[in-house]
Structure 1
């Protein structure tokens, strides 16, 4: 892969980011009905992404993934399914770590690949939570910069 660029997303990117979110969500969350993700596409594109600080990964005109922050909370981190496993999620995490001193996120407990990923980039499970919308158990995970 040639040069990868991280930039702040804008309203013109949200339709494509929503497609990445949908495709990656369906793949990673087979324990949640696909209809849940389908029913939330409009909210993702028109409400959640616009209210977030969103950074995307691109190469020329191709967008490969994105991370969305609301304050110090990672509200979303998604990489296009065909681009997963290439270190792109780690690039996005490292980018937001460079602009925040602490971060937190919720991840579904059944999404073991994501739990392992967040653990590998320095996040620690701090509590168990429950997502009412999907009736699924989650972990709250946190990362904090260590000042030396």
Structure 2
């Protein structure tokens, strides 16, 4: 991708677009429980905006990455255009200046695991019930581990 879309910090006006990306993914994913309405997801984003670093990509917004800076945990990371390089662009952006990141991913999300593994993440833990009642895997990225690969 030669002209990657710009990444910028999300603001309150970006919340509906980010929530719509998550809601759309949940609706399209047969194994994912449909626990929250679009309005509830919007409310969760509004709450998170004060404590997380949420970056968006594209105009219109085509993806977002939400990071808890205290724990270096990627809490949410979705694009509505998989395979176009947006996820990698966002992940490279959040890795810059950091030596460590972690995230939880649903075990059935095999495509996400392949992506994270290609990007230097390793599975370090499994939670049988996860936040959504589904098994989840915790993955970590460390700059020194990525440099050795």
What's 2:132 paired with?
134
CA 1:52 to 1:131, structure 2 compared with 1: closer, same or farther past 3 Å?
farther
| Higher fraction of strand | 1
What's 1:23 paired with?
24
CA 1:103 to 1:3, structure 2 compared with 1: closer, same or farther past 3 Å?
closer
What whole-Å deviation, never above 9, does each CA across 1:14-68 have from its counterpart, x for those lacking one?
A: 11111112112333x421232x13274144232234431011101xx31110100
What's 1:109 paired with?
107
CA 1:113 to 1:3, structure 2 compared with 1: closer, same or farther past 3 Å?
closer
Alpha-carbon offset, residue 93 of structure 1: 0.6
TM-score by length of 2: 0.85
* Contact 2:124-2:137 within 8 A present in 1 as well: yes
TM-score by length of 1: 0.85
Alpha-carbon offset, residue 91 of structure 1: 0.6
CA RMSD of aligned residues (A): 2.1
Large movers: runs of 4+ above 4 Å: none
Alpha-carbon distance between aligned partners in 2 of 1:75 and 1:6, rounded to the nearest angstrom: 17
What's 1:100 paired with?
98
Aligned residues: 142
Instruction: Kindly indicate whether residue 77 of structure 2 is the aligned counterpart of residue 57 of structure 1.
Output: no
Alpha-carbon distance between aligned partners in 2 of 1:132 and 1:64, rounded to the nearest angstrom: 27
Q: Which runs of 5+ in 1 are unaligned?
A: none
What whole-Å deviation, never above 9, does each CA across 1:61-97 have from its counterpart, x for those lacking one?
A: 31110100002000011001xx211111111111001
SS, match of residue 63 in structure 1: coil
